[in-house]
Amino acid sequence: MTKSNILQSGLTRRALLATGAATLATPMFSRRAFAAPTELTMLAWYGHAEPDIVAEFEAENNVKFVPKYYTGGDNMLGLISQSPVGTFDVILSDAEYVQALQQAGYVEELTASDYEIDDYYPEFQNFPGNWSDGKLFSLVTRFGFLGVAYNTDALTEAEASTYNVFWDEKLKGKVGHFDWHLPNLGQISQLNGNANPYDIDAAAWQAVKDKTMSLRPQIGGFFDYGGTFSSLNDGQMLAFAGIGDWITGVLEKNGAKVRSAIPEEGGLQWSECFSIGKGSAKAELAKKWIQYITSAKGQAKSAQMAAYPALIPNQKGWDVLNVENPAEAKRQGMTKDAGNVIEMIRAGRIKNRQWPVQQSLEEWNDFWSEYKGS
């Protein structure tokens, strides 16, 4: 076909190019029209926006999570305070930090009726910190216990059933600390017989400090997240204070000989709560996510999170987990059998990890630095 033929047939060069370009661009347009997912930013501990947890929600709602992971509540508060309003759509926070979030105006108020709180165990329906002056600001989504983490080759479950085991002569230099004052000092406070380990007067605080200092010769090191994993995994540390199944559970699944026990003096409880970030432009979608992750289906997923397992407050979530993965439900104590985790809470064996009531957070932290340096 010659040039004149094309022109004669009514197809100009310009038209040809335009058609060609349009044809080539079609997949782009259709991709934009059908697939462009909405980005939802999440500020959370590591693992909460990984595919094992969010893939299903992302596919169902055409959403793509953009996570910003933090390590520790202080780190989280720092990230929020240094970011413009509306940076984070969804915020996961440890329960003791929720109040600080709410007081600083970093989170939106939630409507309780939007969520299936009635499916929660009663202990979690009015969870401390979630509510302020009758208003809901966050919703507890998972929790776990902290006790005595131990190497099962070195210690028996009976030996690990008291915090006193940390002073055992055979563990000299083999006891590790998760390097954060709050869980460690809380445990010593429990050992000292304080009914509320974080609400202690000056005399009791002094006693906690003295008792802690007496543990110093036993300590082999102070470890961060990664160091805690590796030193328990290779048997360098045989017992660990300040942690629980959130670390040993992961190691245990991978074949390491470690476990966590709740000692007779009682254990501590960490709790993670979801909130909607102040000024979020996607608050509706953020609400949808919290509805999903606190529903029975989302809760079962959360309990088995690859990064670190946890207990869940939704009773129907327990049912789903017991069908999906009965072994994990049993391992974590989320069955209807006697002695399950809810019964432990009801028996008063578990206390919430929280900020010190009668001392400042700074005082506890300063003592922790001195203890480490002694």
Chain residues binding other proteins by CB under 8 A are 72, 74-75, 77-78, 81, 100, 103-104, 173, 176, 179-181, 219-224, 226-227, 230-231, 234-236, 361-362, 364-366, 368-370, 372-373
Q: Cβ of residue 97: shortest distance to other proteins, in angstroms?
A: 9
Contacting residues for 67 by C-beta, under 8 A, at least 6 apart:
41, 42, 43, 44, 48, 49
Q: Cβ of residue 100: shortest distance to other proteins, in angstroms?
A: 6
For residue 353, report the phi and psi dihedrals to the nearest 5 degrees. -70, 135
Closer residue to other proteins in complex, CB, 48/177: 177
Q: Cβ of residue 26: shortest distance to other proteins, in angstroms?
A: 45
Q: Cβ of residue 372: shortest distance to other proteins, in angstroms?
A: 5
3-state DSSP assignment of residue 153: coil
Closer residue to other proteins in complex, CB, 77/112: 77
Contact assessment for residue 240 and residue 142, using Cβ atoms and an 8 Å cutoff: no
Contact assessment for residue 9 and residue 58, using Cβ atoms and an 8 Å cutoff: no
CB burial string 350-367: b at 16+ within 10 A, e below: bbbbbebeebeeeebbeb
Closer residue to other proteins in complex, CB, 124/223: 223
Closer residue to other proteins in complex, CB, 120/364: 364
Closer residue to other proteins in complex, CB, 176/313: 176
* Rounded Cα–Cα distance for residues 254 and 230 (Å): 12
Contacting residues for 121 by C-beta, under 8 A, at least 6 apart:
313, 314, 315, 342
Closer residue to other proteins in complex, CB, 257/316: 257
Contact assessment for residue 220 and residue 176, using Cβ atoms and an 8 Å cutoff: yes
Q: Cβ of residue 361: shortest distance to other proteins, in angstroms?
A: 5
Contacting residues for 169 by C-beta, under 8 A, at least 6 apart:
none
Q: Cβ of residue 137: shortest distance to other proteins, in angstroms?
A: 16
Closer residue to other proteins in complex, CB, 172/346: 172
* Rounded Cα–Cα distance for residues 67 and 228 (Å): 24
3-state DSSP assignment of residue 1: coil
Q: Cβ of residue 148: shortest distance to other proteins, in angstroms?
A: 19
